[in-house]
Amino acid sequence: MKSNRLGEIELQVMWSRLIAVVEEQAQTLLRTAFSSIVRECGDLSAGVFDAKGRMLAQAVTGTPGHVNSMAESVKHFIRHFPTETMKPGDIYITNDPWMGTGHLNDFVLTTPCFHRGKLVALFSCTSHLMDIGGLGFGPDATDVFMEGLYIPMLKLAEGGKLNETLMAMIRANTRQPVDTEGDVYSLANCNDVGCKRLVDMMEEFDLNDLDRLADYVCERSRKAVLAEIAKLPQGSWSNKMTVDGYDEPIDLVATTTISEKGIHVDYTGTSAASLRGINVPMAYTTAYTVFGLACIVSSRIPNNAGSLAPLTVSAPEGCILNAQKPKPVLIRHVIGQMLPDVVFGCLRQAIPDRVPAEGTSCLWNINMRGTAGNTNGGNYGFMMTFTSNGGTGARPVKDGLSATAYPSGVRGTPVEVAESITPLLFWRKEYRADSGGAGRTRGGLGQTMEIESAIGQPFELLAAFDRIDHPPRGRDGGANGAAGEVQLKSGKKLKGKGFQVIPAGDRLIVLTSGGAGIGAPKTRSRESVTADVADGLVTTAQAAKVYGAGKSDTSKAKRSRKRA
């Protein structure tokens, strides 16, 4: 019995060490990436897999859409390149949306790790590259081939020798060849660091393989998730959410079934695939659906193949959540990141005290492109994805988070960085007062941003926004979050999706949506309303009209603001 206990302790220590290994892997990618959305915002993933393709550990740094879809990518790599054919120095690459992470701008690299002459693991990583050709990072394409360079399952390196032909193809199909090439090397390097650290760990613990540890991690995690599911009421619940779509609204319909075997989400009833690039491959649909489930059901259990196993997803072929090749999918995140909120709408019928209201959900990425002055001499201009976020929905006992990217976890791009690498000026980036849906607990606030060319040139907006026509919905008497808006300072209203030009001398104004509230606004505590007004989150007019605040409350808030 004693030796078994010691074995459990050793396995637990090694499991924690694996998580540390993949976090160093991710930090290597974060610190060496050329793409600003990776190095500044953390749009990446990193993980270690056993020889069967089971994900054993993921880095804390990274996004659910990358990690949980990459978990399936490694199985595709093994199918194309059986493990018995892999050799030291091999590196595999793809950006296939249906075998990768959902769109062409994400490159997935997988590297076999060898110890004492034997393949013991696979390291895989993903990051978003700013430009890979095509129409650019927007939703206007009508098939995947218009969206950029498509790399099937290939060897980036064989036996340590780089595939120079492939690298030449990559450089030739981007408006930013230096950055794109650098990002490929960054991905390869991060896997190498993971391999080195794993070999160090195996030497330290005198391991010949990871078989016992892998089984322990997966089985322990699976049982832990099933134990949490067993605490939930069993049954099926349905929810429907309508979002803006490209040129017509889209219905996202889910039925969530909780049983002793696990939780299954089925998207039958969801709208058909779009003609434009907002469609979602099944791997990305699964990734964000199971992430939403895990946040509510098993948030304290590490994410791996075992913990993911009891959470399953299905969607009819041809619907927007199971788009088939060659449907355009470049902006799949706008719809895919709505799915946790869709699932929450099911779960709140079973466990309302654990589920938040609807939030902005999708990232409000401001995709801008233009010249950088002189376009001669190989200067391709600039392409910038400025990551911004709206508010999250109110929680049952807490307010929502302002300007926070849930569920993606991607950080906002610092204005200083954007201005240093593009010829753009940001005149404003501030909280959008009154945008959080009123309630007993208030939704998080969106933002207001105002952007202009600093060189007097027009620039292009590749708009990919949502929650403009269909803002986040309040619950139990709570108010909706404020709808998003996109316009010019001169007054012209812009479309939420599609290619548009910002004229020279005018300014782009983007207002991200706020999260929805929970509960009747007039049941919110007077102290909270006073604090909101004092902090500039709620105006005095809104406090009086919606929350029923009296003059004494607003006067107290004004005095507090003056002292601050």
pLDDT tens-digit map of 232-262: 999 999 999 999 999 999 999 999 999 999 9
pLDDT value of residue 553: 60
CB contact at 8 A, 449 and 428: yes
- The answer, yes or no, to whether residue 6 has pLDDT greater than 60, is no
Unique residue bearing structure tokens 């807490």: 398
CB atoms closer than 10 angstroms to residue 227: 11
Say what the pLDDT of residue 470 is. Answer: 98
- Convert the pLDDT of each residue in 96-119 to its tens digit: 999 999 999 999 999 999 999 999
Banded pLDDT at 559 (limits 50, 70, 90): low
Helical (H) or strand (E) element with 119: strand 118-128
Q: What is the pLDDT, as a whole number, of residue 67?
A: 86
Please report which confidence band the pLDDT of residue 2 belongs to, taking 50, 70 and 90 as the band edges.
very low
Beta strands in 432-496 (DSSP E): 447-453, 459-464, 485-488
**Residue of 134, 59, 64 lying closest to 95 (CA atoms):** 134
What is the rounded distance in angstroms from the CA atom of residue 325 to the CA atom of residue 323? 7
Helix axes 339-347 and 282-297, enclosed angle (nearest 10)? 40
Task: Answer for the pair 258, 233: CB distance below 8 angstroms, yes or no.
Answer: yes
Share of the chain above pLDDT 70, in %: 95
**The two three-digit tokens of residue 176, written as one number:** 């930013």
Task: Report helix, strand and coil shares of the chain as percent, to nearest 5.
Answer: 35, 20, 45
Beta strands in 328-381 (DSSP E): 364-370
The DSSP call for residue 59 is -
At 368-407, the pLDDT tens digits run: 999 876 544 445 689 999 999 999 999 999 999 999 999 9
**DSSP letter string over 31-48?**
HH--SHHHHTT--EEEEE
Whether residue 230 is predicted with pLDDT greater than 60 in this model: the reply is yes
Per-residue HEC secondary structure of 409-444 comes to: CCCCCCHHHHHHHCCEEEEEEEECCCCCCCCCECCC
pLDDT tens readout for residues 141-174: 999 999 999 999 999 999 999 999 999 999 999 9
315: its two tokens: 């969607």
Handedness of CA 481, 482, 483, 486 (dihedral sign): negative
Strands (E), 163-261: 235-243, 250-259
Instruction: Give strand pairing partners of 114.
Output: 119
Domain ranges of the chain: 2-215, 356-524
Q: Tell me the average pLDDT of the chain.
A: 94
Say if CB 199 and CB 117 are below 8 A apart: no
- Angle between helix 282-297 and 64-80 (nearest 10): 130
Range 447-485 burial, b when 16+ CB lie within 10 A, else e: bbbbbbbeeebebbbbbbbbbbebbbbbbbebbbbbbbb
Neighbours of 277 (CB within 10 A): 29
Could you tell me the pLDDT band of residue 1, with boundaries at 50, 70 and 90?
A: very low
pLDDT for the residue 377: 44
